[in-house]
Amino acid sequence: MSYINAVHGFQPWTCITEERGTTTVVRAFGEIDLFTAPQLGAEIERAINATASSVVLDLSEATFVDSACVHAVLNGMALARHAGVEFVLRKPAKSVARSLDLCGL
């Protein structure tokens, strides 16, 4: 399990990655924006490179996403597809889901 914790502005951001058999779950908490999305993207890429079959991105505890987060998710999806790894976007919070839906995710 890896753990990233960063504070910028007023909202802390945390990312926890857990191995569950052949699946890696990346859980993000807080705001994912221009400052934190690169860290999320790096964690997604690490998970794709380390996993055998699937990566699950859990955004159920994310409170805000911007276009930088959308870019990290799209890049992760492309990397996973190229590596033959299933990429699952699971349970985005309602406000996050709205932003992702507007981008076609």
Q: Would you list the DSSP string of 48-96?
A: HHH-SSEEEEEEEEEEEE-HHHHHHHHHHHHHHHHHT-EEEEE---HHH
Q: What is the pLDDT of residue 4?
A: 53
Mean pLDDT for the chain overall? 86
Euclidean distance between CA atoms 6 and 95, whole angstroms: 21
The predicted-structure confidence for 29-58, as pLDDT tens digits, reads as follows 999 999 899 999 999 999 999 877 999 999
Q: What is the pLDDT of residue 99?
A: 78
Euclidean distance between CA atoms 79 and 4, whole angstroms: 21
What residue ranges define each of the domains in the chain, with the CATH number in brackets?
2-102 (3.30.750.24)
The owner of tokens 């507007």 is 102
Lowest-confidence range among 1-5, 15-19, 54-58, 74-78?
1-5
The owner of tokens 């910028």 is 8
Most confident of 12-16, 42-46, 97-101: 42-46
